[in-house]
Amino acid sequence: MIPVNLRKVATAELNEAYGWYEGEQAGLGERFLEEFESLSRRIAENPFQFPIVYRDVHRALFRRFPYSLFFRIRNNEAVVIACFHAHRDPTIWEKRL
């Protein structure tokens, strides 16, 4: 297992999505965070199961929400650079590299 760490901007995106879902329906934000935790564990256990989608950036898809975590492997850790909605312009997170 390797540690999974979020950049500040990815944390802000995660919190924003949580707030939006919780505002839509009580408890939905919590389910979003539970899925994030599950996906983070899968990344920690085997980050290479997720495809490379741009340069050395991997994408891990949420199962029940239209979000993805984009991450790189650096110094034996997974660094999440974005928690991104599927309909957002991908050039936004690409500029973070």
Query: What's the whole-model pTM score?
Result: 0.92
Tell me the domains of the chain and their CATH numbers. 4-94 (3.30.2310.20)
pLDDT for 49-76, tens place per residue? 999 999 999 999 999 999 999 999 999 9
pLDDT for 79-91, tens place per residue? 999 999 988 887 7
**What is the C-alpha to C-alpha distance for residues 79 and 7, in angstroms, rounded to an integer?**
7
Q: Looking at per-residue confidence, does 92 or 35 come out higher? A: 35
Neighbours of 13 (CB within 10 A): 22
Buried b (16+ CB within 10 A) or exposed e, 49-71: ebeeeeeebbbbebeebebbbbb
